[in-house]
Chains A and B, each alone.
Chain A
Amino acid sequence: MKAWLPTALRAMLLLLLNAFLLFPESFEPLFKSLVQPNAPAIYNQGSLLNLTLLHLKIVFFATLIAAIIAVLLAILVTRPFGSEFLPLSRSLVNIGQTFPPVAVLALAVPAVGFGEKPTLIALFLYGLLPIFENTLTALTNLPRSVVEAARGSGMTGFQRLLQIELPLSLPVIVGGIRLSVVISLSTATIGSTVAAKTLGEVIIAGLQSNNLAFILQGGLIVGALAVLIYDGLSAVEAVLARRAGVR
């Protein structure tokens, strides 16, 4: 009986999120008590649905590019050709994670100007690290017997990569993407301080007009998206792990 409970909760969260995005006005009584009598209780400076889609779009593209580049880089440094870069790349990941997202965002502005671009760059750079780190860990910790067996059966390096190493590493890579997406969803809200159209607009509008309802709406939508995507990717990871026979 207990097994279906988390799934049911998530389904409810998804339904609630969709209902709120499609018919925000119907939730007005819930938020009414949080604001001053004559202030708007539901975000009214644009469509919440639209902002949510833009938010997801920017996170999706940043993560997609980050995943492609990070996996390619990790493959490169684990081949004999790129092995000289392996120790450095580990330190770079370590150093890179000490850069605060706000600083990355702010420093991207002089290079590319305001708007979506600096946000995309910050999300991309920040999303790169977890994916690269996980891919590297996966590729360097493959069971030696399997790799040796593949080599023994006469597979070329390329075949080994595509048929053995990547499929076995896939669950861990997806784990990295999951971490990256959750960080990006939250960081994208800060993008609104440099004029990117994301859910951060709702929160900042709330901060500026002292409207708690706006802040809550922006924050809760991002939080719900993060929980749902995190769980969704965890499920994908579990399926992939089962298929790879790792766990």
Chain B
Amino acid sequence: MRIQLDKLGIVIALLAAYGTLGASFAVSKPNRIVQGQAKSILDALPSWAAWALLVLLFAAAVVALLRTSAWAKLIAAAAALLALALAMGLTGHFLTPAGNTYARVSPASGFWILLFAFALLAADAITRLKPPPWMRVLFLILAGAGVGGLLFSGSWDGLSIMKEYAGRADVFWVEAGKHVTLALGSLLAAVAVGLPLGILCHRVEPLRASVLNALNIIQTIPSIALFGILIAPLGWIAATVPGAAALGIRGIGAAPAFVALFLYSLLPVVANTVIGLSGVPKDAVDAARGIGMTNRQRLFKIEFPLALPVILTGIRIVLVQNIGLATIAALIGGGGFGVFVFQGIGQTAMDLVLLGAVPTVALSFAAAVILDALIELNSRAVNGARSG
């Protein structure tokens, strides 16, 4: 029997081979900003751990190469990712001389390539499994619990990014709170305004084009500029409207960032509400009218539930976009994870950049997975109602 190789497996095995043999696993630096010394897996870990990691990665690459079941691939990928995470933590402790608080150990390109290769394997396995929405959320929770467990156990405390965190633990959670408040708050405001506006645009035909065009133009203004432009009017409001300043409205800071994110969020919400409502089958509306439903009953009982999946898609776009854009709020003093990103860029301290960028990416990824699951659940309900 001829052994059939998996084509994606070949790509993953090549990437893993390069990540292991061709690139360095970790960088060890005497302090935060100087050039570091690259270490391979064998130099970066105690020899038992290095060989265990190599054997495990090899085995996972073999599973990737063979045409095995998607579950086998998922388990191999998860094992490889976990081993990489644990090994990186061990490297942090192994390479830092005892008692030295200046030395920094960070992951190097080889680690990132290996991580990418096996994340690719996991993504492919999950795609092939076609898991139902609840299972995808379960996978997300498991992954989150894994990372949380590693963070909590102190396994990564020897790594540079965690040393950056240790020095800023309080600030980190304050900025995290600001980031989430900005992203979610502006989303809620946009839904509160955008839904009625979308319904209005759907009912009043002449309004539609002009409202959507205006919102489209707002989207073309680059984010930094919109944040900056709003400083002036909000500063003016704070200075002239009594009580505005007491509410936290100021020229710089979170207020202009909030308004800017709100403005960017309006287009997807309004546009998707209009598309969703116009996609409601005409017979459904006619039938509702036939049995004597009032305008309002039709809207809430028929049109709105049927349009919900499309509206949720708009909300997903907005939430993911807002989590990303909220990083820019840091440039105008609005806080959020961007504070670490821009501080890190300013000090050429890349671990600090990572401290801001990694949570942002994780947050928007989690938001996307959860909302995708919600959308699928809702569109199933709608399709079920349609065919039933």
Given the known inter-chain contacts A203-B222, A219-B221, A219-B225, please indicate yes or no for A98 contacting B364, CB distance below 8 A: yes
Q: Which of A23-31, A61-69, A80-88, A137-145 contacts B (4 or more CB under 8 A)?
A: A80-88
Most central of B124, B217, B222, B345 by chain A CB within 10 Å:
B222
Given the known inter-chain contacts A106-B345, A219-B228, please indicate yes or no for A87 contacting B128, CB distance below 8 A: yes
Determine the distance from Cα of A92 to Cα of B320 in the docked complex, in whole angstroms.
16
Chain A, Cβ-Cβ closest to B317: A97
Chain A residue numbers with a CB within 8 Å of B7 are 82, 84-85
Given the known inter-chain contacts A189-B225, A207-B332, please indicate yes or no for A100 contacting B123, CB distance below 8 A: no
The interface bits of chain B over 216-241 (1 if a CB of A lies within 8 angstroms of the residue's CB, else 0) are: 01011111111011011000000000
Tell me which of B124, B338, B348, B364 contacts A88 (CB under 8 A): B124
Determine the distance from Cα of A144 to Cα of B331 in the docked complex, in whole angstroms.
51
Determine the distance from Cα of A226 to Cα of B217 in the docked complex, in whole angstroms.
9
Given the known inter-chain contacts A182-B220, A193-B342, please indicate yes or no for A215 contacting B229, CB distance below 8 A: yes
B190 within 8 A of A: no
Chain A residue numbers with a CB within 8 Å of B342 are 193
Contact call A110/B224, Cβ cutoff below 8 A:
no
Given the known inter-chain contacts A91-B127, A106-B353, A216-B229, please indicate yes or no for A204 contacting B224, CB distance below 8 A: yes
CB A178 to nearest CB in B, in angstroms, measures: 12
B185 within 8 A of A: no
Chain A residue numbers with a CB within 8 Å of B354 are 107
Chain A residue numbers with a CB within 8 Å of B33 are none
Determine the distance from Cα of A185 to Cα of B244 in the docked complex, in whole angstroms.
35
The interface bits of chain A over 108-142 (1 if a CB of B lies within 8 angstroms of the residue's CB, else 0) are: 01110010000000000000000000000000000
Chain B residue numbers with a CB within 8 Å of A194 are 345
Chain B residue numbers with a CB within 8 Å of A10 are none
Contact call A190/B324, Cβ cutoff below 8 A:
no
CB B133 to nearest CB in A, in angstroms, measures: 14
Determine the distance from Cα of A88 to Cα of B220 in the docked complex, in whole angstroms.
31
Q: Which range holds the interface residue count of chain A?
A: 35 or more
Determine the distance from Cα of A22 to Cα of B126 in the docked complex, in whole angstroms.
55
Contact call A110/B124, Cβ cutoff below 8 A:
no
CB B82 to nearest CB in A, in angstroms, measures: 20
CB A80 to nearest CB in B, in angstroms, measures: 11
B134 within 8 A of A: no
Contact call B8/A88, Cβ cutoff below 8 A:
yes
Contact call A190/B223, Cβ cutoff below 8 A:
yes
Chain B residue numbers with a CB within 8 Å of A175 are none
Q: Would you list which residues of chain A between 197 and 228 have a CB under 8 Å from chain B?
A: 199-200, 203-204, 206-207, 212, 215-216, 218-220, 222-223, 226-227
Contact call A212/B217, Cβ cutoff below 8 A:
no
Tell me which of B226, B229, B348 contacts A212 (CB under 8 A): B229
Tell me which of A84, A99, A230 contacts B6 (CB under 8 A): A84
Contact call A222/B222, Cβ cutoff below 8 A:
yes
Chain A residue numbers with a CB within 8 Å of B229 are 212, 215-216, 219
Given the known inter-chain contacts A106-B344, A190-B223, A226-B220, please indicate yes or no for A88 contacting B365, CB distance below 8 A: no
Chain A residue numbers with a CB within 8 Å of B361 are 98-100, 103
CB B160 to nearest CB in A, in angstroms, measures: 11
> Count of B residues near A, CB < 8 Å?
49
A interface: dominant SS: helix
Determine the distance from Cα of A111 to Cα of B350 in the docked complex, in whole angstroms.
10
Determine the distance from Cα of A91 to Cα of B219 in the docked complex, in whole angstroms.
26
A50 within 8 A of B: no
B314 within 8 A of A: no
CB B131 to nearest CB in A, in angstroms, measures: 12
Contact call B123/A88, Cβ cutoff below 8 A:
yes
Contact call B368/A94, Cβ cutoff below 8 A:
yes
A95 within 8 A of B: yes
CB A26 to nearest CB in B, in angstroms, measures: 22
A160 within 8 A of B: no
Tell me which of B126, B328, B344 contacts A190 (CB under 8 A): B328
Tell me which of A94, A103, A219 contacts B324 (CB under 8 A): A103
Tell me which of A85, A94, A200 contacts B222 (CB under 8 A): A200
Determine the distance from Cα of A101 to Cα of B372 in the docked complex, in whole angstroms.
21
Determine the distance from Cα of A82 to Cα of B348 in the docked complex, in whole angstroms.
41
Determine the distance from Cα of A185 to Cα of B327 in the docked complex, in whole angstroms.
18
Determine the distance from Cα of A109 to Cα of B349 in the docked complex, in whole angstroms.
10
Contact call A109/B224, Cβ cutoff below 8 A:
no
Determine the distance from Cα of A230 to Cα of B219 in the docked complex, in whole angstroms.
12
Chain B residue numbers with a CB within 8 Å of A189 are 222-225
A180 within 8 A of B: no
Contact call A222/B123, Cβ cutoff below 8 A:
no
The interface bits of chain A over 36-72 (1 if a CB of B lies within 8 angstroms of the residue's CB, else 0) are: 0000000000000000000000000000000000000
Contact call B120/A207, Cβ cutoff below 8 A:
no
Contact call B320/A223, Cβ cutoff below 8 A:
no
Determine the distance from Cα of A97 to Cα of B344 in the docked complex, in whole angstroms.
24
Chain B residue numbers with a CB within 8 Å of A100 are 323-325, 327, 360-361, 364
CB A185 to nearest CB in B, in angstroms, measures: 7
List 26 A–B pairs whose Cβ atoms lie within 8 Å, in order of A's numbering: A84-B8, A87-B124, A88-B127, A92-B120, A92-B123, A97-B368, A100-B323, A100-B360, A102-B324, A102-B357, A103-B361, A106-B357, A107-B353, A190-B328, A193-B345, A199-B222, A200-B222, A204-B331, A207-B224, A207-B332, A215-B225, A216-B229, A219-B229, A223-B221, A223-B222, A227-B220
